[in-house]
Amino acid sequence: MSILKVLKIRFVIFLIQISILILTINLFDYKYYLNLLFFPKPSNTTEEQIVIIKWLANYILYKDWNDLFFMYTIWLPISIIPVLIYNNYKRAYSMNFLTFFFPNFFLYAFLGNYYRPYFNANFLNLFIKTIILGITIILFSIGLSLALKAIRRSKPELQRDDLHMMAELIRSKCPQCGTEFESRPKICYNCNTDLTIKSGDKFIDTV
């Protein structure tokens, strides 16, 4: 299995994207302050669960414009990876959607399960922010994929010209009856002349 084939596996791309996300967020030491103290802690919620919720919030939530800019500078370069690996914009944006969906899904599911008061009070506010970030990532990946496709399109056109040239080169004509062929046949279907005899005057090339 070649490296490109392995890279095209969705799970592998997902792991690469998430690993880069975790590395960069930790490198820049970005922290989103989740105001959980203002809400009563549910009796069955443990400290570990709160730590996980706060950890997940660092990867997707933002407070002000600076945070939003930071989030874009982290998420948008990450969303380029599937665009470069897949030639198809649908696959690229669906992959980015998947990578963006899972941290968000887990954050909201854990908030809903383990910190219901905060979830009830802030869900709409947080969700609008998530939607804005998500739509930007998807639009960015679609736009970039289409742009790359447009750049790559020039290459097949060149190949098509080459094919036309080759077709012209192999076109031939029977020296006996003058029937034209799109190939180099062994025998003329019209007059049964053997066209394989390599004498210059027997086989006429049209090109």
Partner 1 sequence: MSLEFLNAFKFMKKDSFLHNLDPRTKLVFAVIYTISALLFKQIILLLLILLSLIPLILVGKLFKQWIKSIRSLAFLMLFIIILNTLFLSLSFAIAMIIRICVMVSAFSIFFLTVDPNDLALSLISMRIPFEIAFAFSLAFRFVPTIAIEAQNILDAQQSRGYEMQKKGLISQIKNLFPLLIPLIICSIRRAFNVAEALESRAFGSNKERTYYYTIKYTLKDWLFTIYLLCFLILLIIVRINFTIMPEILKWGLPV
Residue 205 to residue 172: CA distance in whole angstroms:
5
Using the minimum distance from each CB to partner 1, give the nearer residue, 10 or 173: 10
Taking the complex as a whole, the smallest distance from the CB of residue 204 to partner 1 amounts, in Å, to 39
Taking the complex as a whole, the smallest distance from the CB of residue 66 to partner 1 amounts, in Å, to 30
Binding site for partner 1 (CB under 8 A): 11, 46, 48-49, 52, 90, 105-106, 109-110, 112-114
HSE-up (13 A, CA, CB side) for residue 203: 17
Taking the complex as a whole, the smallest distance from the CB of residue 49 to partner 1 amounts, in Å, to 5
Using the minimum distance from each CB to partner 1, give the nearer residue, 75 or 110: 110
Taking the complex as a whole, the smallest distance from the CB of residue 152 to partner 1 amounts, in Å, to 22
Single-letter amino acid, residue 128: I
Using the minimum distance from each CB to partner 1, give the nearer residue, 56 or 174: 56
Query: Hey, what's the torsion of the CAs at 71, 127, 141, 85, to 10 degrees?
Result: 80
Residue 42 to residue 30: CA distance in whole angstroms:
27
Residue with tokens 């887990």: 106
Bridge partners of 204, per DSSP, are 173
Using the minimum distance from each CB to partner 1, give the nearer residue, 18 or 52: 52
